[in-house]
Amino acid sequence: MSKTRKVLVTREDCPQAGLDLLRNSKCELTIVPGDYPSREEIIRAIPGHDALYVVGNHVNVNAELLDAAGPSLKIISTISSGYDHLDVPEIKRRGIIIGHTPVVLNAAVSEIAVMLLLTAARRAHESRLLLEAGKSERKPMWLLGQDVSGSTVGIVGLGMIGLAIAKRLVPFEIGRFLYTGHAPKKSADEIGAEFVSLDDLLELSDFVIVATPLTSETRGLFDDAAFDKMKKTAVFINIGRGAVVKTDALLRALKEKKIFAAGLDVVDPEPLPKDHELLTLPNLEIVPHIGSATVRTRNNMAIVAAQNLINALEGKPLVYPL
Ligand code: DGY
């Protein structure tokens, strides 16, 4: 880069590799102090910066924030694959470039999906609770789970992550893969998946996996009616975005045993309050949105986001533009 550019980093807790790459590329960094800076702190700090390096999805980038940034802002680079925290049409309308970090997290997120699927199917959380309570019953019909081999797995959103999950499940001898979305996809042939309607997928699947982004179409897609269509033995997994599911509907489905179990990496709201009823359910495996939280993956995401930012400022194509 020929001249020094001003970059606002939205929080302190950020992989060093991304910060180093920015600093080595003539970027002058303003890091908003603290791990959870408020929106107001970010808005106060942003005027006059050339670039915004969004560390995660903790800040909504909308017209108010863009107004505060002023005309110097050229690129918004988020260290995330998802971009529901960005008002993309508004940002683009202002001619600001957007970068994100897909692909590098596919393996980590799909590993979490498989972990949730196996632990929910085999009642890992419930087993642990019973052990801790000293209620170990060594009887043949105790803690029976659902079989993964021979099962039908339905994937809502067969994008790169949906496909990565399916490929990791193939060695478990899945009987049949189904998927739904806007239209059939060529990539489905790699796992022999059949394109079906959402209703068919819900009715036929033993495992329903949500791997779709949050859009106006997918918000609240899983409501009472959706859970009512699923098998009583079904296991529901969500590694997409929490708001694709109506949390109260999922709570009812699990409590009333409309479905067998669920495994969640994402939930609405995040973070889930510690006294939320979902956390009392033995048939729920839940982790706090850690799908991409491995050392290598987070470093790679930070590096890709930094490279997106640098490329935009140098007038070059981004690694992953939106
Ligand atoms: C993403 O990158 O969108 C992930 O959800 C973050 O973990």
89-103, 110-124, 127-141: least confident range = 127-141
**What is the structure's pLDDT at 56?**
86
Ligand 1 near 218 CB (within 6 A): no
289 catalytic residue (yes or no): yes
**pLDDT above 70 for 2:** no
Ligand 1 near 159 CB (within 6 A): no
Taking the CA atoms of 121, 127, 128 and 129 in sequence, report the sign of the dihedral they define.
positive
Ligand 1 centre distance from Cα of residue 103 (Å): 11
Q: Taking all residues of the chain, what is their mean pLDDT, rounded to a whole number? A: 97
**What is the structure's pLDDT at 58?**
86
Please list, in sequence order, all residues whose beta carbon lies within 8 angstroms of the beta carbon of residue 41, skipping any fewer than 6 positions away.
Answer: 32, 33, 34
The DSSP-derived string for 78-114 is ESSS--TTB-HHHHHHTT-EEE---STTHHHHHHHHH
Ligand 1 near 161 CB (within 6 A): no
Which of 54, 59, 84, 105 is the best mutation target for the ligand 1 pocket, counting ligand atoms within 8 Å of the beta carbon and taking the most? 105
Measuring CA to CA, which residue among 285, 289, 172 is closest to residue 236?
Answer: 285
**Active-site option among 49, 100, 125, 289:** 289
pLDDT (tens digit per residue) in 182-212 = 999 999 999 999 999 999 999 999 999 999 9
Measuring CA to CA, which residue among 296, 292, 297, 245 is closest to residue 267?
Answer: 245
Ligand 1 near 181 CB (within 6 A): no
**pLDDT above 80 for 3:** no
Alpha-carbon distance 156 to 240, whole Å? 10
pLDDT (tens digit per residue) in 209-232 = 999 999 999 999 999 999 999 999
**What is the structure's pLDDT at 57?**
85
pTM of the predicted model over 0.85: yes
Question: 145 near 123, Cβ under 8 Å?
Answer: yes
